[in-house]
Amino acid sequence: MAVRPISVILAVAVLGALATGIASSAPKPPFKVTSTLDGKTVLPHRIRWLAFPKLPLTKVQRVDFLIDGGKPRWVEQNPPYVYGEDEGGLHKGYLVTSWLTPGRHRFTVRATITGGRTSSHTVVARVLPAPEPPAGLGGTWQRTITDTSGAPVPGSKANPTETLTPAGTYTMVIDRRWIQVRFAGTFHRPQSDNTGEGWILDSDYSAGPGSLRALGPVIFDTAHDQAETGWWCFQDGPEGDYTWSTSGDTLTLKPKAGADPCGVRGFIWAGDWRRVG
pLDDT per residue over 219-247, tens digit each? 999 866 789 979 999 999 999 999 999 99
The predicted pLDDT at position 58 comes to 85
- Please name the residues in contact with 273: beta carbons below 8 A apart, sequence gap of 6 or more: 141, 142, 143, 172, 250, 251, 252, 253
Q: CB-based burial of residue 93 (10 Å sphere; 0-12 exposed, 13-18 middle, 19+ buried)? A: buried
Residue-level pLDDT, tens digit, the chain, 277 residues: 444 444 444 344 444 444 444 444 556 667 899 999 999 999 999 999 999 999 887 899 999 999 999 999 999 999 999 999 999 999 999 999 999 999 999 999 999 999 999 999 999 999 999 999 999 999 999 999 999 999 999 999 999 999 999 999 999 999 999 999 999 999 998 999 999 999 999 999 999 999 999 999 999 998 667 899 799 999 999 999 999 999 999 999 999 999 999 999 999 999 999 999 9
Inter-residue contact 205 to 213 (CB < 8 Å):
yes
Sheet of 50-53, strands arranged across: 33-35, 50-53, 81-82
Q: How far apart are the first and last CA of the chain?
A: 100
Segment holding 17, helix H or strand E: helix 6-25
The predicted pLDDT at position 225 comes to 76
Q: CB-based burial of residue 115 (10 Å sphere; 0-12 exposed, 13-18 middle, 19+ buried)? A: exposed
The predicted pLDDT at position 17 comes to 44
| Closest residue by Cα to residue 203 from 102, 84, 81 | 84
Q: How far apart are CA 154 and CA 229, in angstroms?
A: 17
- Sketch out the chain's domains with CATH numbers: 33-127 (2.60.40.10), 139-275 (no CATH)
The predicted pLDDT at position 222 comes to 82
> How many Cβ atoms from other residues are within 10 Å of residue 219's Cβ?
23
> How many Cβ atoms from other residues are within 10 Å of residue 121's Cβ?
18
> How many Cβ atoms from other residues are within 10 Å of residue 132's Cβ?
12
